[in-house]
Amino acid sequence: MGYDNHPTKVADLKVVLLGESAVGKSSLVQRFATNSFDNNRESTIGAAFITKKIYLSDENLNNNSNELKLINFQIWDTAGQERYKSLTPMYYRNANVAIVVYDLTDYQSLKKAENWVNELKLYIRDNQFENSSVSAKNSLTIYLVGNKLDLLSIKENEGPEFPLSLNNIQTYKTSALTGEGIDTLFNSIINDVTDDQFVDVDDLDFDKNSKNHKNSRNGLLVDLTAGRGGTNSSDGFTEFGGCSC
Ligand SMILES: Nc1nc2c(ncn2[C@@H]2O[C@H](COP(=O)(O)OP(=O)(O)OP(=O)(O)O)[C@@H](O)[C@H]2O)c(=O)[nH]1
């Protein structure tokens, strides 16, 4: 099957990034979206919104049904500065995935990540209480990410010791600077998307004329035309909407 074919199934995946300021949330998103890194990134104001399409190639699928699946990542990159904290529930509400980021070289940022995980657990508990039959479509999965792996020397230990409350959370180590660990993190997120999160394209108004530039990366077909918007002072976007980055 050729990849000029259109996807047969599509899943919208709402992702939110949370964590202390300067741990590298925006840099992780940039690495994922455009496989690039910006040394002079400015702190996010409010939140930034980025979209990214990932096509799942045949070898990613556990069946021989000639299906091409598409995951539409809708990523909210929140500002880590304390003054924006009260806005954050607005972004994790209705999210499918929360990526809680800390800096592997900064113990305080791990404590902050622990606070976020506890807040998210309370949200999940209350949400499940309200909806007794929660499907994967409307549940929230937490991924804990220690970033700046490149700053840990081989001799050093594996980063700060984990508080017990974080023991049952999936954890990953990344470097937005080198790209190490980014594919592992996002492949896990993709693998955790369940069948009931996909809808048949026949049921959607899919734009059959859209042209996507696809690139093979670790078995995934990656659409390099990521869109972004939001209020990040470094790129000057002041409203939501698609533009190339
Ligand atoms: N060495 C190293 N530096 C990184 C890495 N990721 C980000 N940085 C740097 O850390 C600083 C903060 O990165 P950001 O991506 O802006 O951090 P943030 O968590 O989005 O910060 P806020 O927007 O304030 O919440 C920048 O100077 C980045 O260049 C990494 O993996 N390794």
pLDDT of 134 higher than 60: no
Average pLDDT of span 218-234 = 40
Average pLDDT of span 206-227 = 42
User: CA nearest 146: which of 170, 165, 127, 128?
Assistant: 170
Dist. CA 21 → ligand 1 center (Å):
8
**Residue ID of nearest Cα to ligand 1 atom 6:** 24
pLDDT digit string, tens, across residues 113-125: 999 999 999 999 8
Can you give the CATH number for the domain in which 201 is found? 3.40.50.300
Cα→Cα distances 99→14, 156, 195, Å: 11, 25, 21
Report if residue 178 sits inside a domain: yes
Range of the domain at 226: 9-239
Report if residue 15 sits inside a domain: yes
Dist. CA 157 → ligand 1 center (Å):
21
Average pLDDT of span 127-134 = 59
Average pLDDT of span 168-174 = 93
pLDDT of 237 higher than 90: no
Count of structural domains within the chain: 1
Report the residue among 41, 84, 178, 182 best suited for mutation to probe ligand 1: largest number of ligand atoms under 8 A from its CB.
Answer: 41
Percent of the chain with pLDDT over 90: 58
pLDDT digit string, tens, across residues 31-85: 999 999 999 999 999 999 999 999 986 565 555 566 789 999 999 999 999 999 9
Report if residue 245 sits inside a domain: no
